[in-house]
Structures are given as structure tokens and as C-alpha cells.
Amino acid sequence: MHSTEQQIIHSWNKNAGPWIRAVQEEQIESRKLVTNQAIIATILRYRPPTALDLGCGEGWLARQLATHGIRVMGVDAVPALIENANRLGGGEFAVYAYEQIVNGVLNNQFAAVVCNFSLLGKESVDHLIRQIPALLHDGGHLFIQTLHPLMAGGDAPYQDGWRSGSWAGFSAEFSDPAPWYFRTMGTWIKLFRDSKLTLTELLEPLHPNTGKPVSLLLVGTK
């Protein structure tokens, strides 16, 4: 694994505790106002009976989907997050890195695969998305919600590349922010095409106060 990708895993291992508290105490405004409901509502429109939550974190989305009768498996590379998910239930959870997913550690297929703000790397993400069709039933769907490129790019040139992380807006408990790989809108779309997935929807959930897009939400079909 590239050293920059390793920094991502290191950061999330270090900040697992603060992250669990931030999610469960609804400290993150954009999640509470926009992005949580955006991903849930979009998935439910497709009515998948099963779903794989890649980078499931502490398990909040799996628990939400389970209340709608969806059988969810969640995986994450951070043991503390999976421990929390297993404690609270709502699905089947396991510690797997994306590299293991790419190498075929999961033998089963799903009606939906979800990546909700969980695609931060470069090579790991490129390889993972190309593996998605093998994880989907025919006609299954991939749901990706990520930072909106036009809003998250800041003053840097609008081109793919590594960016420094930040915990701005989070509590002082957080430290060592993870780097993340910036992709343009065109690069996200190309990832779907390269993976032989049909881009079914491209959504841009808006902040209710500013009217500006908070996230980019992509739906692909096998």
C-alpha cells in the first residue's frame, strides 16, 4: 500500500473514538441537514433487498437501512469502528481493507453496494471500483456519495491530486487528519465507465440555507 494511503488508515484508527461520538451525537451539521437523508432516500428508491456498505464506519447507515428491511453487510478497515457496529447491531460487520475486497475475500453478491464518504484514496479506490461488478447481482446498483468537487476543491487547481486533510469544524479531540485524493466530476464519471457500470443518476444534494451543493451522489447499474 502506498504510504499516503497508509496515512488514511492510521488517521482513522487514531480518530475512531471521536468519530463515533461525533456521529452518534449528531455533531456534523452537513450530515444532519443533508447527506444522511440523501443517501438513505436514494437507496430506498431502488428497494434493494441486500446491501454491502463499504467503509461502513461505526455502522449508522447499516442500522438505518435495516429498519427498512434491507439485509446489510458492513466492512471497514478500522477495528474500533467495526467493534462499535457489532455492538449496536443492525447487520453483519467485519474488518476488511479495500485491498482484501479487491482480492476477492467476499464470495457473495449483493443487490446494492454503498460507499458513503468512504472513498479517500487513489489506487485503493481505483481498484475497488473496478471490482464492484463482481460484488453485484445483475441489475444491481452502486451508490457513491462523496464531497462535491466544485465545493471541496477550494482554491487549488481543478485537477485530480492529493490534498491535505482537515478536521476544521470538528472537536479538539480529533488529530492527524487524513490526506485525501481529489477527483473532478469527469474523473468520477470515468471510474464508472472503466468499471463497466452504467451511470444511472448524478445527484447534487443542496444545503437548505446556502442553496449550494453539499455532496455528489452517483448511482451506477451493473
Q: How many CB atoms lie within 10 A of CB 4?
A: 16
CB-based burial, 77-108: b 16+ in 10 Å, e otherwise: bbebbbbbbbebebbebeebbbeebbeeebee
Which pLDDT tens digit goes with each residue over 62-102?
999 999 999 999 999 999 999 999 999 999 999 999 999 99
* Distance between CA atoms of residues 36 and 40, nearest Å: 6
Predicted local confidence at residue 3, as pLDDT:
85
Least confident of 16-20, 67-71, 149-153: 149-153
Predicted local confidence at residue 140, as pLDDT:
98
Residues 6+ positions from 165 with CB-CB distance below 8 Å: 11, 177, 178, 179, 180
* Average pLDDT of the segment spanning 172-177: 95
- Per the CB < 8 A criterion, the answer to whether 140 and 58 are in contact is no
Taking 70 as the threshold, does the pLDDT of residue 195 lie above it? yes
Task: Round the average pLDDT of the chain to a whole number and report it.
Answer: 96
Predicted local confidence at residue 179, as pLDDT:
95
Predicted local confidence at residue 94, as pLDDT:
98
- pTM for the whole thing? 0.96
% the chain with pLDDT above 70: 100
Q: How far is CA 110 from the centre of its chain?
A: 16
**Cell 443487490 belongs to residue:** 111
Predicted local confidence at residue 164, as pLDDT:
93
Confidence of residue 153 (pLDDT cuts 50, 70, 90): confident
Fold for 3-198, please state it.
Rossmann fold (3.40.50)
Predicted local confidence at residue 1, as pLDDT:
60
**Cell 491530486 belongs to residue:** 161
Taking 80 as the threshold, does the pLDDT of residue 183 lie above it? yes
Residues 6+ positions from 166 with CB-CB distance below 8 Å: 177
**All three cell numbers of 27:** 455533531
